[in-house]
Chain A
Amino acid sequence: MITFEDVVKVYPGGTTAVDHLNLELPTGKITVLVGPSGCGKTTSLRMINRMVTPTSGRILVDGADVSQQNEARLRRSIGYVIQHAGLFPHRTVLDNVATVPVLLGQTRRAAREAALGLLERVGLSAEFAKRYPAQLSGGQQQRVGVARALAADPPIMLMDEPFSAVDPVVRAQLQAEFLRLQQDLGKTIAMVTHDIDEAIKLGDHVAVFRTGGRLAQFATPRELLAEPADDFVASFVGRDRGLRSLSFDSAAELPVRPVDGIDLDDSGRPLGLPGVFTKDDSLRVVTDLVISSPGGIAVRVGPDGAADGLVSHHDLADYLASRRS
């Protein structure tokens, strides 16, 4: 657990970057710090590994004040990923990943061996090991950045806009892989982003900052969409938050009507549709299908891919209305 206790950061010149921040980042979860530029989110992140020193207040990692710990040793125990990856241009991919283990005293050979396994873990084949960062795409560099942060198996990871320098397609891919990786690893992660959609997609908790370094709301993504604390959060979260909040609701309980009037193949699979949903999908997926399908009907399929129910505009509207009451 990472705890901010009444943390203030005033820069020389008088700008208040962080204003009396109290925050707990739970162990094993992803906490996203989000807000407009100049809201102190990056400063807060960088105070955790002492890249920035607070003006007052304390930051505790599992109860221990970070200011009492040896700087270099503290940083080696915390993974760090930044926007443009910040890879060492003069080192091969493999040696970049092996950096922290070598700093911790491992032999280069052992560190490289472990690094090879990590590359695979972040989706890079062994052929990348001997390349230099300049020979990689932005997305590949970012993968190496993540592998490098994971190399010493730190319990905590700090990520500063890790996916914002790549194009939207690669970003979505990296985000999905990151979530999968986190499911296996269960690190305590603090991530900074200015993108509220990314915060909602990735965060177990989201801390919304407002300009001037004040915490506006700390909540789960679902709570944030359903009950924004004030107008600032509501406007920051965006106008379509009702629609987006449907991503957190399962379609499992959604009543369906019998399959009728659509084209099926021999094994009962629907034909000629832009998409179908299953019980595991969210209501947002269903809504999108209802809107985009030509007949205004979303088709549910079972595990075998055969259609087992239909949902119309009306059904969906009725269901959403019934949930509200």
Chain B
Amino acid sequence: MIQYLTNNHVIVWQALQEHLYLALLPILFGFAIALPLGYLAVRFTWLYHPLINTFGVLYSIPSLALFVFLPVILGTKVLSPVNVVVALTIYTVALLARTVADGLRAVDPVVVQAATAMGYRRTRRLVDVELPIALPVILAGLRVATVSNISLVSVGSLIGIGGLGQLFTRGFQLFYLEPILIGVILSVVLAGIADLIIVLVQRAVTPWTRAA
């Protein structure tokens, strides 16, 4: 395995970078889209169920099918990484919109009312009071989405883009175990580190959850 790594470190390193970028970019996009969507689902209660159900259906589409169909819908090239980014963004939104909505809905209405009575306007109340209180729930959703994205990127290798997943296809093609093992280990380590970072951020920004 060491032998394989020394000979192929350029490929492995590139695959790792690509993997990271393909997994995390959709998290950024997805979060940016899910935040307003989740808020709207709480603000307009009639929107909650249609929205959550729609994303439930979207999330149930197999990733491979999405990778294959997106070029048809988007007009992108079949081998474009855009397909993977868009597909994973959809999954991220599907997971996070619900988490954001549920997190905001769980904020004690008494606290929201107190904030209003003290003279908070809607937007500042959302930023200063509701979102911070919903943060533990939202960050828990973010952990799931991040880990799930990191594992899903590998599926993209079946259409030629897949970060560490390419090590799997290569291994299968050559009947060679080393790249597969290295790919698996690196994916798991990557997911573990990403998860740990979010947990550390959560500890830093929500000290109040550990009080009492």
Residues of A within 8 A of B (CB): 49, 51, 72-76, 80, 82, 84, 86-91, 99-100, 103, 131-132, 134-135, 148, 158
Given contacts A131-B211, A132-B211, contact A75 B118 (CB under 8 A): yes
Asked if residues B111 and A89 are in contact (CB atoms below 8 Å), the reply is yes
Asked if residues A90 and B133 are in contact (CB atoms below 8 Å), the reply is yes
Q: B179-212: which residues lie under 8 A (CB-CB) from chain A? A: 206-208, 211-212
Closest B residue to A158 by CB, please name it: B117
Given contacts A73-B119, A75-B116, contact A132 B208 (CB under 8 A): yes
Asked if residues A103 and B208 are in contact (CB atoms below 8 Å), the reply is no
Asked if residues A75 and B111 are in contact (CB atoms below 8 Å), the reply is no
Given contacts A103-B120, A132-B211, A135-B212, contact A88 B115 (CB under 8 A): yes
Given contacts A51-B113, A135-B211, contact A89 B118 (CB under 8 A): no
Q: How far is the CA of A103 from the CA of B119 in the complex (A)?
A: 8
Q: How far is the CA of A80 from the CA of B117 in the complex (A)?
A: 7
Closest chain-B Cβ to A303's Cβ sits at a distance in Å of: 46
Report which of A72, A82, A158 forms a contact with B120, defined as CB distance below 8 A.
A72
Closest chain-B Cβ to A45's Cβ sits at a distance in Å of: 10
In the complex, chain B residues whose CB is within 8 Å of the CB of A91:
208
Q: B103-158: which residues lie under 8 A (CB-CB) from chain A? A: 108, 110-111, 113-121, 124, 129, 132-133, 135
CB contacts between A and B, total, < 8 Å: 65
Q: How far is the CA of A148 from the CA of B207 in the complex (A)?
A: 21
Q: How far is the CA of A74 from the CA of B211 in the complex (A)?
A: 34
> Could you tell me how many residues of chain B have their Cβ less than 8 Å away from some Cβ of chain A?
22
Closest A residue to B207 by CB, please name it: A132
Asked if residues A75 and B133 are in contact (CB atoms below 8 Å), the reply is no
Closest A residue to B111 by CB, please name it: A86
Q: How far is the CA of A49 from the CA of B117 in the complex (A)?
A: 7
12 contacts between A and B (CB under 8 A): A74-B119, A75-B119, A76-B119, A82-B113, A86-B114, A88-B133, A89-B208, A90-B133, A132-B208, A134-B211, A135-B211, A135-B212
Main SS at interface, chain B: helix
Closest B residue to A80 by CB, please name it: B117
Q: How far is the CA of A249 from the CA of B208 in the complex (A)?
A: 50
Given contacts A90-B133, A134-B211, A135-B211, contact A82 B114 (CB under 8 A): yes
Q: B66-107: which residues lie under 8 A (CB-CB) from chain A? A: none
In the complex, chain B residues whose CB is within 8 Å of the CB of A134:
208, 211-212
Closest B residue to A46 by CB, please name it: B117
Closest chain-A Cβ to B195's Cβ sits at a distance in Å of: 23
Asked if residues A89 and B133 are in contact (CB atoms below 8 Å), the reply is yes
In the complex, chain A residues whose CB is within 8 Å of the CB of B111:
86-89
Q: How far is the CA of A227 from the CA of B111 in the complex (A)?
A: 41
In the complex, chain B residues whose CB is within 8 Å of the CB of A135:
211-212
Asked if residues B110 and A84 are in contact (CB atoms below 8 Å), the reply is yes
Closest B residue to A149 by CB, please name it: B118
Asked if residues A86 and B211 are in contact (CB atoms below 8 Å), the reply is no
Closest B residue to A151 by CB, please name it: B118
Q: Pick the most buried of B113, B114, B124, B211: most chain A CB atoms within 10 A of its CB.
A: B114
In the complex, chain B residues whose CB is within 8 Å of the CB of A148:
118
Q: How far is the CA of A158 from the CA of B116 in the complex (A)?
A: 14
With A75-B117, A90-B206 given, name 6 new contacts (CB 8 A). Answer: A76-B119, A86-B114, A89-B108, A100-B118, A103-B118, A132-B212
Closest chain-B Cβ to A295's Cβ sits at a distance in Å of: 52
Closest chain-A Cβ to B176's Cβ sits at a distance in Å of: 52
Closest chain-B Cβ to A96's Cβ sits at a distance in Å of: 10
Q: How far is the CA of A99 from the CA of B128 in the complex (A)?
A: 10
In the complex, chain A residues whose CB is within 8 Å of the CB of B132:
90
Closest chain-A Cβ to B151's Cβ sits at a distance in Å of: 32
The list of the 6 closest CB pairs from A to B, nearest first, reads A86-B114, A76-B119, A134-B212, A132-B211, A75-B119, A80-B117
In the complex, chain B residues whose CB is within 8 Å of the CB of A51:
113, 116-117
Closest A residue to B110 by CB, please name it: A86
In the complex, chain A residues whose CB is within 8 Å of the CB of B120:
72, 103
Q: How far is the CA of A72 from the CA of B115 in the complex (A)?
A: 10
In the complex, chain B residues whose CB is within 8 Å of the CB of A87:
111, 114
Asked if residues B121 and A86 are in contact (CB atoms below 8 Å), the reply is no
Asked if residues B119 and A90 are in contact (CB atoms below 8 Å), the reply is no
In the complex, chain B residues whose CB is within 8 Å of the CB of A86:
108, 110-111, 113-114
